[in-house]
């Protein structure tokens, strides 16, 4: 899938003032959580004045989505204030909620500003792409992992893990990513694409300290909830660093955090996620 096709999927169709419809790629067998997250943000943003970009969203993954069925997005305009606008969005299939989200939008203001510095990371051009890694290991990986060309964003993993032979690692990873196409100066489009990408990697980071991976047949893994904050304007058609860690896991729930920096070291967004990861008992 190329980036133009992804943008088409994320650009939901408006069928009423606060109702939208979206489609999904036919593969994989269930909908990628970042897709529904991004589609909900797109739907909500279409009901908000253009001078109010999103600054935060909080979401729950309720049920697996079926990629062969359309998704209905119902937007509830719960608040239109002087500086902030709030929307609540429910995504449904066959009338059943699969995802809900609250999003807040803020008219840009000048004021206090600070940030923590970007952690050390190699330059993106020095890190191999997912495609280059796949070419080296396709024979080993093809039976358990999808080739990276299904994900229409260039990724360069700094801390790459062997998913076929997972060894315990520190719960921290970094990867650079970018859209390999010049995009228009549309803050909504860049935010929607970052929302899509923000669901990548957090679940896996929570599994790094343990000798398991989502690629194993006996592992059940899924995102449970997701939070995302947009701090500053940014572009996703230039390299962005995702720095992720997982400070805790307990009771088969892993907690992960992410920070996103442009290549100049500016903190542009932050994310948090709790995920489910359990090993199914082996059948006798």
Q: What is the pLDDT of residues 17-42, one digit of tens each?
A: 999 999 998 766 789 999 999 999 99
User: 80: which strand partners?
Assistant: 85
Among candidate residues 104, 174, 271, 273, the one labeled active-site is 273
d(CA 45, CA 55): 11
Among candidate residues 199, 246, 271, 275, the one labeled active-site is 199
Among candidate residues 223, 244, 271, 275, the one labeled active-site is 223
Domain 1-108 has CATH 3.10.129.10: yes
Q: Is 199 a catalytic residue?
A: yes
DSSP state of 88: E
Question: Tens of pLDDT along 240-262?
Answer: 999 999 999 999 999 999 999 99
Q: Is 8 a catalytic residue?
A: no
Cα angle 20-228-5, degrees, rounded to a multiple of 5: 45
d(CA 145, CA 134): 10
The residue with tokens 């909500």 is 44
Per-residue pLDDT of the chain (284 residues; tens, 9 = 90+): 789 999 999 999 999 999 999 999 876 678 999 999 999 999 999 999 999 999 999 999 999 999 999 999 999 999 999 999 999 999 999 999 999 999 999 999 999 999 999 999 999 999 999 888 777 766 666 665 665 556 789 999 998 887 778 889 999 999 999 998 999 999 999 999 999 999 999 999 999 999 887 777 778 889 999 999 999 999 999 999 999 999 999 999 999 999 999 999 999 999 999 999 888 877 65
CATH superfamily of 128-284: Hotdog Thioesterase (3.10.129.10)
The arrangement of strands across the sheet holding 19-22 comes to 13-16, 19-22, 71-80, 84-93, 96-106, 54-61, 219-230, 267-279, 253-262, 240-250, 172-178, 154-157
CATH 3.10.129.10, the chain: domain bounds: 1-108, 128-284
d(CA 77, CA 84): 12
Strand, helix or coil for residue 12: coil
């Amino acid at each position: 899938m190329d980036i133009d096709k992804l943008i088409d999927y994320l650009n939901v169709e408006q069928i009423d003032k606060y109702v939208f419809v979206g489609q999904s790629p036919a593969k994989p067998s269930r909908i990628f959580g970042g897709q529904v997250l991004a589609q909900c943000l797109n739907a909500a943003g279409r009901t908000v004045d253009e001078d109010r970009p999103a600054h935060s969203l909080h979401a729950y993954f309720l049920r697996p989505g079926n990629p062969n069925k359309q998704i209905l997005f119902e937007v509830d305009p719960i608040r239109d204030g002087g500086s902030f606008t709030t929307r609540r969005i429910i995504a449904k299939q066959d009338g059943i909620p699969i995802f809900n989200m609250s999003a807040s939008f803020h008219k840009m203001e000048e004021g206090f500003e600070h940030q923590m510095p970007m952690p050390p990371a190699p330059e993106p051009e020095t890190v191999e792409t997912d495609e280059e890694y796949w070419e080296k290991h396709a024979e080993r990986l093809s039976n358990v992992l999808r080739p990276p060309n299904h994900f229409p964003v260039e990724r360069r993993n700094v801390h790459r893990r062997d998913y076929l032979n997972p060894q315990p690692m520190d719960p921290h990873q970094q990867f650079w990513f970018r859209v390999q196409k010049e995009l228009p100066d549309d803050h909504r489009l860049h935010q929607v694409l970052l929302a899509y990408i923000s669901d990548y990697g957090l679940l896996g980071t929570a599994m790094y300290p343990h000798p398991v991976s989502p690629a194993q047949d006996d592992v059940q893994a899924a995102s449970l909830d997701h939070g995302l904050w947009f701090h500053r304007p940014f572009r996703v058609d230039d390299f962005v660093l995702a720095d992720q860690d997982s400070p805790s896991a307990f009771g088969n729930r892993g907690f992960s955090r992410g920070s996103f920096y442009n290549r100049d070291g500016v903190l542009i967004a932050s994310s948090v996620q709790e995920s489910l990861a359990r090993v199914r008992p082996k059948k006798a």
